[in-house]
Amino acid sequence: MKKINFRFSWLIVICLAGIIFLAGCGLERSSTTYKVTVKNLAAAGQTVTYAVVTVNSLEVNGYNVTETPSGLSLTLSSKNFYSTSNDFSVPLITFNRLQIAYSVDRDSNNVLGAWTPAAIDTAVNIVLPRTASGEGTATVDMNALTPFSHMSEVADKIVVVTATPAVPLGYTFSLGLTTYLVVGADVLLSGTDENGNAVSTSFSTNINYQK
């Protein structure tokens, strides 16, 4: 009788172990349960346009240079990549830090040497909503890639304004660029989800400068 009970008890343990093993496989979660990716990023990237505006035509320095960035809209997507379960939820995610490293991809006249624009590290507030299934998305305007400080820094390197004497007096102003410049931007967004876990995503794009 003891032998039968012994074997029977081991059979129960084996069965339970099998059930636990199967359940564990089905419910297992990776420590990273979702990914945040960038969607619909335009391959052409962003464009900065420079222009000269006359302030006082009687003075040789009577002008201002204006800097206008084109819009750059992209969609961030938070999606479960590790489970097919319909009830798997992706938490609310808040990105609060933006870091940008710039590099010169093209300097057509080779006038800039080893110069690169200063990197940027700034605060942002981008929120991806919680989602029980499917994906959470947020469309954001990434004009933060080209803040005024960056556009002015580039202008100091490549923008030239010529003052031409006008008749009967004063000056007319024209703007030129010393080189055709394309700057690469490597972007890192970082923050946390509602559970306090660190989250980050990155992408790269180009910025073109024109008049």
User: pLDDT tens digits for 168-192?
Assistant: 999 999 999 999 999 999 999 999 9
Query: Is it the case that residue 107 has pLDDT exceeding 60?
Result: yes
> Do 79 and 169 share a structural domain?
yes
Q: What pTM did the predictor assign? A: 0.79
Domain hosting 18: range is 1-30
Which residue has 């909503």 as its token pair? 129
Are residues 21 and 41 both part of a single domain? no
Q: Share the mean pLDDT of the chain.
A: 83
pLDDT in tens, 71-101: 888 899 998 876 665 566 789 999 999 999 9
The answer on 24 and 68 residing in a single domain is no
Shared domain for 9 and 47, answered yes or no, is: no
- Distance CA(173)–CA(65), nearest Å, equals 10
Contacts of 97 (CB under 8 A, 6+ apart): 121, 122, 123, 124, 189, 190, 191
Tell me whether residue 76 is exposed, middle or buried, using C-beta atoms within 10 angstroms of its C-beta: 0 to 12, 13 to 18, 19 or more.
buried
Question: Of 60, 92, 59, which Cα lies nearest the Cα of 196?
Answer: 92
Give the number of domains in the chain.
Answer: 2
Q: Which residues sit opposite 63 in a β-bridge?
A: 54
Question: Are 36 and 18 part of one and the same domain?
Answer: no
143 phi and psi angles, rounded to 5 deg: -65, -10
Residues 16 and 77 occupy one common structural domain: no
Sorting pLDDT into bands at 50, 70 and 90, what band is 144?
Answer: confident
Does 11 share its domain with 70?
no
Q: Cα–Cα distance between 76 and 93 in angstroms, integer?
A: 11
166 and 65 belong to one structural domain: yes
Q: Categorize the per-residue pLDDT at 115 as very low, low, confident or very high, splitting at 50, 70 and 90.
A: very high
64 shares its domain with 39: yes
Q: How confident is the model at residue 55 (pLDDT cuts 50, 70, 90)?
A: very high
Q: Are residues 98 and 178 in the same domain?
A: yes
Q: Does 85 share its domain with 113?
A: yes
Residue 43 and residue 16 share a domain? no
Q: 137: which strand partners?
A: 77
